[in-house]
Homo-oligomer: A and B are copies of this chain.
């Protein structure tokens, strides 16, 4: 099975190396910027191209790993007939690929991918979707060589998963960044929070997060919440985030506790 990678960003790069490691042959890497295409293509023994006019018609699978807004544009310049066409996005419907091939699907790697941080692809869940049974059979085989964690969901479910990932992970990282910047101002070592951050993420590996919620808001401790809001008064944005989330936690768990008490 021969593969063409369209894109040269974080997902394209990590996926291309994972495919090479699984002993697939990647024929071409496309990027509008020939230097980017070369940089990735050289690492995996592929041909770099910077125009879709040069794309081979001899491969079996064409993977579009570009920004969401560019997927349609790239797909519309391909002439594939019955070759398999995949995109890798969490938030784009599979059906945007329908006009461009008879076999298409999605391979969405659910992970936070930065170029500067190494990634073990075998621990990345792959979320798949297929236009038909033949495509499914061909791609499933390939996907299992990349990761043992494989789930098939429809486009709506995949979009919800992506949204949940943004909330649970990108937003958590933003909270870490607030804590980091706030402590730097106060000359307190951010490293002290690291065991706590690890433990918080570790706990939910085996517990429902609702069952292990701690902190002043879940105890409805207005005294501490007021002190904290006061400490944040130089940062109205952070103060607003603190207030909104605390109110929501009080509403959520306080009500539930009262309901439990009256049961």
Q: What residues on B are CB-neighbors of A112 within 8 Å?
A: 196, 199-200, 203, 212, 214-215
Residue in contact with A164 in the complex, picked from B123, B183, B224, CB distance below 8 Å: B183
Stretch with Cβ within 8 A of B (4 or more), from A18-26, A51-59, A238-246: A238-246
Q: What residues on B are CB-neighbors of A240 within 8 Å?
A: 244
A216 touches B168 (CB 8 A): no
Given the interface contacts A114-B214, A213-B177, does A188 sit within 8 Å of B172 by beta carbon? no
Q: Contact flags (1/0) for A170-204 with B, using CB distance below 8 Å? A: 11111111111111001111101111111111111
Can you tell how many copies of this chain the complex includes? Answer: 2
A143 contacts partner chain B, Cβ-Cβ < 8 Å: no
- Judged by DSSP, the binding face of A is helix
B160 touches A182 (CB 8 A): yes
A166 touches B216 (CB 8 A): yes
A113 contacts partner chain B, Cβ-Cβ < 8 Å: yes
B188 touches A194 (CB 8 A): no
Would you give the shortest CB distance from A66 to chain B, in whole angstroms?
A: 13
A179 touches B199 (CB 8 A): no
Chain B's closest residue to A157 (CB) is B188
A261 contacts partner chain B, Cβ-Cβ < 8 Å: no
Q: What residues on B are CB-neighbors of A160 within 8 Å?
A: 182-183, 186, 188, 231
Q: Contact flags (1/0) for A111-138 with B, using CB distance below 8 Å? A: 1111011000001110100000000000
A201 touches B212 (CB 8 A): no
Chain B's closest residue to A203 (CB) is B117
A258 contacts partner chain B, Cβ-Cβ < 8 Å: no
On A, residues with C-beta under 8 Å from B are 67-69, 91, 110-114, 116-117, 123-125, 127, 149, 151, 153, 156-157, 159-161, 163-183, 186-190, 192-205, 207-219, 221, 223-224, 227-228, 231-232, 237-238, 240-242, 244-245, 248-249, 251-252
